[in-house]
């Protein structure tokens, strides 16, 4: 209809009508484009808000996991030092306490990372949707450092862990794990973090078996050297967590404390 009128006016050389019709067409196209842009912006803003909220939730859980690792490996370290001091004769330790500390020094923490949002953003090339530079930088730093993976790998592959496992009977190790191993805590429960490993316990073993197992540990001359290596490795990773990755730690704390 508009084009028909526009053609008729053009043939009649009705320039005023031509200009008006042309202006109507241009205005219609402009409004259509603007409406399309507004809809696209609204969709983009909605996606950005969704991903930002999701990434913040991931970072809050990662902060809890980070705090858990710092406390947990501090407790592993304390047990390793207690065990090595007893085995090298520096500080006397009762047989059952020696078994417990020696066992706990073998422990490591491996946990699933919460990174699905970050992986989706990076795999689709839409990380730019995270407009908060601190949130974006924290996620990129956190998921691209290997400290947490190194902690689990070194614990799992620890030569001390291997030597300890080869020294004591399986039944003794099972009893220590069942009665003196890690306590389960709900993710996000900061108050429950202390004592995840360092909690009061009894081995549940008979007195003769405790004495026999403690003698086996003291007779294994390799354990002292391997414990010292384990202590050095843990201290290095704790320095990574607390000092070398200080910026990540600080940013995670800030995000976690900014409640939704």
Tell me 14's DSSP state.
Answer: -
Tell me 201's DSSP state.
Answer: -
Q: Which residues contact 30 (CB under 8 A, 6 or more apart)?
A: none
Burial (CB count within 10 angstroms: exposed 0-12, middle 13-18, buried 19+), residue 194: middle
Torsion sign (Cα): 206, 175, 219, 96: negative
Q: Give the tokens for residue 87.
A: 């085995």
Residue 260 confidence (pLDDT): 61
Closest-CA residue to 96 (of 191, 210, 17): 210
C-beta separation of 193 from 68 below 8 A? yes
Write the DSSP string, 108-134: --------HHHHHHHHTT-GGG---HH
Rounded CA gap, 54 and 166, in Å?
A: 45
Structural element, H or E, at residue 151? helix 147-156
Q: Which residues contact 85 (CB under 8 A, 6 or more apart)?
A: 91, 93
Q: Indicate the pTM of the whole model.
A: 0.83
Q: From first to last of the 260 residues of the chain, give the pLDDT tens digit.
A: 555 654 555 456 555 654 565 666 666 666 666 656 666 677 778 889 999 999 999 999 999 999 999 999 999 999 999 999 999 999 999 999 999 999 999 999 988 788 999 999 999 999 999 999 999 999 999 999 989 999 999 999 999 999 999 999 999 999 999 999 999 999 999 999 999 999 999 999 999 999 999 999 999 999 999 999 999 999 999 999 999 999 999 999 999 988 66
- Break the chain into its structural domains and give their ranges: 50-257
Residue 1 confidence (pLDDT): 55
Residue 127 confidence (pLDDT): 93
């Amino acid at each position: 209809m508009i084009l028909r009128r526009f053609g008729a006016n053009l043939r009649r050389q009705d320039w005023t009508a031509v200009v008006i019709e042309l202006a109507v067409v241009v205005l219609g196209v402009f409004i259509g484009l603007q409406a399309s842009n507004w809809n696209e912006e609204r969709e983009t803003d909605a996606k950005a808000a969704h991903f930002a909220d999701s990434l913040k939730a991931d970072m809050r859980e990662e902060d809890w996991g980070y705090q858990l690792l710092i406390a947990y490996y501090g407790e592993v370290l304390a047990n390793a030092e207690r065990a090595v001091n007893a085995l090298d004769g520096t500080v006397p330790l009762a047989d059952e306490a020696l078994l417990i500390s020696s066992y706990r020094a073998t422990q490591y923490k491996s946990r699933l990372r919460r990174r699905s949002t970050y992986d989706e953003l990076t795999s689709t090339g839409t990380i730019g949707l995270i407009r908060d530079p601190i949130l974006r930088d924290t996620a990129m730093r956190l998921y691209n450092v290997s400290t947490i993976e190194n902690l689990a790998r070194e614990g799992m592959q620890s030569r001390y862990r291997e030597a300890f496992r080869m020294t004591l009977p399986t039944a003794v190790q099972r009893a220590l794990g069942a009665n003196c191993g890690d306590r389960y805590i709900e993710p996000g429960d900061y108050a429950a973090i202390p004592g995840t490993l360092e909690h009061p316990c009894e081995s549940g073993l008979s007195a003769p078996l405790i004495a026999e197992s403690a003698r086996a540990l003291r007779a294994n001359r390799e354990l002292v050297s391997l414990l010292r290596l384990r202590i050095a490795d843990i201290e290095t990773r704790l320095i990574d967590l607390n000092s070398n990755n200080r910026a990540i730690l600080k940013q995670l704390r800030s995000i976690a404390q900014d409640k939704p």
